[in-house]
Chains A and B, each alone.
Chain A
Amino acid sequence: MSYFLQSIVDGASLGSIYALIALAIGFVFGILRLINFTQSDYITYCAYALIIPSTAAMPALFIGAWPAALMVISVLLIGVVLALLTERFAFRAIRDAEPEILLISSFATSYLLQHILMAVYSTRPKSVSIGNWLGEPVAFAGLRVPLIQLVTLGVTGAALIALVAMLRYTEFGIKIRAAAENYRMARLLGVRANAVIAGCFAISGLIGGAVSLLLVAQTGSLDILMGVSPVIIAFFATVIGGMGSLMGAVLGGFLVGMVSQLLQAYLPGEAREFRDAFLFAFTILVLIARPNGLIASSAIGQRT
């Protein structure tokens, strides 16, 4: 039983990360029909900013060595700046292109960013230690949970609540939701496209920064491809949740994270190694069963 609960906590923690990324993907996709692969680079760049540029396997810390508060703020800021740069220079000019072109451009841009990073830091995975104390397990309701899982849950939970509140109650949030539903109509009402889109990218960058800190604290390692897989999974989460529904993205993210952890916990030992394969297969099957996503069909007319 406690094993099950343990898995649930792990699942919720992973799911909340996916939910955050899914929200970022969902914002941008809803408005631009663009699947933003560079979201993975926001995560990777923010993570690599923690260390000094080096090809070594155990590099010295750079921003990672700063006081915690300053470190967090700087990393988030890097995420925002990078996201705004990609919006301005990679996507603005092709905003009206066909979705297939957007998709492959975003893939190409992401690949470009990846390799620029690679040219500086090499492909060698690196280990870093920030917030080692977060790895300590804490006893919690009869479970021994690593502190980092709780911190992750806390941070992502707070971020999600903040984002949802922003979406629902602020003027900017209403603009984003309106633009996600009907971009042209929103513009016809005077909603400024550049401002809303830049805002969405800025939030995506912010989320990228936060996710990268959480991931690095969890794994203690850096990898050039560390952002790719979470972003692909998060994209599926947005599709599963129902395109255009931001709440759906959050729900889908949690679901995928949960399934992933449960697969990890309950697959027989041999099969466990193939967890990711099962996870992708599962997401594709959900799409077959509910092509419009989990809540899209019932969500017409409901609040998001």
Chain B
Amino acid sequence: MLTLRNLAVNYGAVPAIHDVSAEFEAGTVNFIVGPNGAGKSTLLLTIAGALRPRMGSISFRGKTISGMNPEDVASQGCSLVPEGRQVFSRLTINENLRLGSIAGRRKGGSSADTEEVLSLFPILRERYSQAAGTLSGGEQQQLSIARALLTRPELLLIDEPSLGLAPLVVDGVYEILRKLKNDSLTMIIVEQQATRVRNNGDTVTVVRDGHVAFSSKVSTISDYSELEKAYFGFS
């Protein structure tokens, strides 16, 4: 569904990613893990069109999307839930969601979508006309995911969904992601830790220093020390 070929990206003047190639299949949940500063967020931002690759290409459902504007990538059905959630704090929850459904309608979405999504996130319905800035971190994460879902994505990119959230709240977020997986939504989830890979992921890719250090199907990993080695760069 998504293919990265020899991708290299600069962040500012500094190379953040060199030569990343990867393949993600439809209907799978894919983890990208790696230490701080490894280039994971840069990778997602590049896929989503917010950064331009210096070299290489990205193709999504057979179509080259590298070099496209972020709004066009979104219209292609690839939606990003960014690091730090980035809800529009001055807008109400309703308005935040409407922004998502604007793009969704271009792809044949309807108001029924909003209902469907809200049934996944009951807390958002409760606070429908409240400003998003008043939500707690976990609620904002839900809003950010809900908003992305309303764009009717084929592929959901999620950047550190557990960042800054208490463990129990993170459990809640992953509960929702699991439901989405059951609806066979393709996802790429970036996390700093690999704690949730085994129970939630189909594949795992370790990114370190801007390159792929390890990549495997979760089901075929028998010994995690290999992954650990790749993560740290030494054993």
> What is the interface of chain A, defined by CB distance below 8 A to chain B?
171, 174-175, 177-178, 181-182, 184-193, 244-245, 299-304
> Which residues from chain B contact A302 at a C-beta distance below 8 Å?
90, 131, 133
B88 touches A178 (CB 8 A): yes
A174-B86 in contact given A192-B71, A301-B131 (Cβ < 8 Å)? no
What's the Cα separation between A244 and B99 when bound, in Å? Answer: 18
B133 touches A178 (CB 8 A): no
B91 touches A300 (CB 8 A): no
A188 touches B90 (CB 8 A): no
A175-B92 in contact given A184-B50, A190-B75 (Cβ < 8 Å)? no
B58 within 8 A of A: no
A178-B89 in contact given A171-B102, A191-B102 (Cβ < 8 Å)? no
A185-B106 in contact given A175-B99, A177-B91, A302-B90 (Cβ < 8 Å)? no
B34 within 8 A of A: no
> Which residues from chain B contact A192 at a C-beta distance below 8 Å?
71
B193 within 8 A of A: no
B89 touches A300 (CB 8 A): yes
B95 within 8 A of A: yes
B89 touches A301 (CB 8 A): yes
> Which residues from chain B contact A190 at a C-beta distance below 8 Å?
71, 74-75, 102-103, 106, 151
B117 → chain A closest CB, angstroms: 14
A193-B69 in contact given A171-B102, A175-B102, A178-B99 (Cβ < 8 Å)? yes
Which A residue sits closest to B132, measured CB to CB?
A301
A178 touches B91 (CB 8 A): yes
A181 touches B89 (CB 8 A): yes
User: Pick the contact of A303 from B48, B86, B92 — CB < 8 Å?
Assistant: B92
What's the Cα separation between A189 and B74 when bound, in Å? Answer: 6
A299 → chain B closest CB, angstroms: 7
> Which residues from chain B contact A245 at a C-beta distance below 8 Å?
90
> Which residues from chain A contact B49 at a C-beta distance below 8 Å?
188
> Which residues from chain A contact B96 at a C-beta distance below 8 Å?
178
A181 touches B70 (CB 8 A): no
B89 touches A188 (CB 8 A): no
A188 touches B50 (CB 8 A): yes
> What is the interface of chain B, defined by CB distance below 8 A to chain A?
48-50, 69-71, 74-75, 79-80, 82, 86, 88-92, 95-96, 98-100, 102-103, 106, 131, 133-134, 147-148, 151
B218 → chain A closest CB, angstroms: 28
> Which residues from chain B contact A171 at a C-beta distance below 8 Å?
98, 102
What's the Cα separation between A191 and B103 when bound, in Å? Answer: 7
A182-B131 in contact given A171-B98, A193-B69 (Cβ < 8 Å)? no
7 example contacts (A-B, Cβ-Cβ < 8 A) are as follows: A174-B91, A181-B89, A186-B88, A187-B50, A187-B74, A188-B79, A190-B151
B70 → chain A closest CB, angstroms: 4
Ordered nearest first, which 10 A-B pairs have the shortest CB separation?
Answer: A190-B103, A301-B133, A190-B74, A187-B70, A185-B86, A301-B134, A301-B131, A304-B90, A181-B88, A178-B88
> Which residues from chain A contact B100 at a C-beta distance below 8 Å?
189
B75 touches A300 (CB 8 A): no
A176 → chain B closest CB, angstroms: 11
Which A residue sits closest to B100, measured CB to CB?
A189
> Which residues from chain B contact A244 at a C-beta distance below 8 Å?
90
B95 touches A174 (CB 8 A): yes
A303 touches B151 (CB 8 A): no
What's the Cα separation between A245 and B91 when bound, in Å? Answer: 11
What's the Cα separation between A207 and B88 when bound, in Å? Answer: 27
B92 touches A189 (CB 8 A): no
What's the Cα separation between A171 and B75 when bound, in Å? Answer: 17
What's the Cα separation between A301 and B130 when bound, in Å? Answer: 9
Known: A188-B70, A190-B71, A192-B71. 16 other contacts (CB 8 A): A171-B98, A177-B88, A181-B88, A181-B91, A184-B70, A188-B80, A189-B74, A189-B79, A189-B99, A189-B147, A190-B75, A190-B151, A191-B99, A245-B90, A300-B133, A303-B131
